[in-house]
Amino acid sequence: MGSGLGSLGRPNSIVRQFNFWDDRYEGRRLFAELLGTFFLVLVAAGAGMVNARFGGHAVPGAARVVAPALMVMAIILFMGTVSGAHLNPVVSTAFALRGDFPWRRVPAYVVAQFAGGVLATLLLWALIGRHGSAGLTLPGPGIPVPIAMVWELVLTTGLVSVILGTASGAQQVGAFAAIGVGSYIALAGLWGAPVSGASMNPARSLGPALVLGDWHAWWAYLVGPAAGAALAVGIAQILRGPGGGMHGRQAAQGTIGLLWEPGYRDQWPAAPPSGQPPVTQPQAPTAAGPTAAGPTEEPMEPGHG
């Protein structure tokens, strides 16, 4: 056990690495989800409202679907290490189904995400008024609600598959996951938005519906994404086996308190919190093999993420 602790190079690392109940920074995580979803809905709903406010030609159609994708990329890069940057109730649920995220945290994440969507809608209405569909996600002209629901199911299956895949330790893409996720959202929007709006996110669709009190077609934007996320979890199981690996957990939960601590200029092992014993970094392995402190990386095995 001492060898394992030394190899990971941080106090209580074995416990913390596998501890889903460590909620020391839960307030920061929830604020990050609220803030991130706020910015996402501000762009996703605001693009159409601004376009309607200024005559219908101010924001081109392609820009209206690409802007949310770029915002998601930015959010993942600037706060993904705090909360995992789910920004979407079905993403939180998918991570929990994979075993990468504790079910206990899911309800609070979902509430924070819906709160962000509601606040974004209220701000838009306060600043520019209610224009166009007022931020609602609706089926395209002549599209029955059940068709829109199936469309959302298919689009969300692809989105959550990309999220789970880029979070997996098998991919080892790290921050480049933002590019994969953002690219998928842009591509799905470019060809799928005319049919259903390409929401793929109940917080984005139902947040404005909560404010407006307009529940037309609301169930399509809840059932479709939820079913698509569940299907994506099944696909991930077929492709990579069970989740729960170290990389998948870090992507889903963030690394705050694990790889870094708020307020410290250096990484935690170099400046541990008060009361913690100083920790020395493990030496690099030599040509003869790992040092006595143990291996410096977790070996890749099937099912890691």
The predicted-structure confidence for 171-210, as pLDDT tens digits, reads as follows: 656 678 899 999 999 999 999 999 999 999 999 999 888 8
Q: Which domain holds residue 95?
A: 25-253
pLDDT band at 212 (very low <50, low <70, confident <90, very high): confident
Is 110 within the bounds of a domain?
yes
Is 286 within the bounds of a domain?
no
pLDDT band at 261 (very low <50, low <70, confident <90, very high): confident
Domain count, the chain: 1
Alpha carbon 167 to chain centroid, angstroms:
10
Q: Helix and strand tally (H, E) in the chain?
A: 11, 0
Residue 252: HSE in the Cβ half-sphere, 13 Å Cα cutoff: 34
pLDDT band at 89 (very low <50, low <70, confident <90, very high): very high
H/E run at residue 294: none
Angle CA 84–241–94, to nearest 5: 35
Is 82 within the bounds of a domain?
yes
Is 274 within the bounds of a domain?
no
Q: Is the pLDDT of residue 134 over 90?
A: no
CA distances from 133 to 96, 125, 127, 264, 268 (A): 33, 12, 16, 46, 48
Is 182 within the bounds of a domain?
yes
129 beta partners: none
For the chain, what is the mean pLDDT?
A: 81
**What's 47's domain CATH number?**
1.20.1080.10
DSSP labels for 19-82?
-TT--TTHHHHHHHHHHHHHHHHHHHHHHHHHHHHTTT-SS-HHHHHHHHHHHHHHHHHHHHHH
Is 127 within the bounds of a domain?
yes
- Which of 153-157, 196-200, 280-284 holds the top average pLDDT? 153-157
Residue 177: HSE in the Cβ half-sphere, 13 Å Cα cutoff: 31
pLDDT at position 288: 44
Is 13 within the bounds of a domain?
no
> How far is 85 from 75, CA to CA, in rounded Å?
7
DSSP labels for 186-241?
HHHHHHHHHHH-----HHHHHHHHHHHT--TTTTHHHHHHHHHHHHHHHHHHHHH-
Q: State the amino acid at position 302 in one-letter form.
A: P
- Residue range 259-265: average pLDDT? 71
Q: Is the pLDDT of residue 289 over 70?
A: no
Is 178 within the bounds of a domain?
yes
Q: Is the pLDDT of residue 25 over 80?
A: yes
pTM for this entry: 0.79
Of 248, 79, 86, the residue nearest 167 (C-alpha): 248
Angle CA 86–20–228, to nearest 5: 35
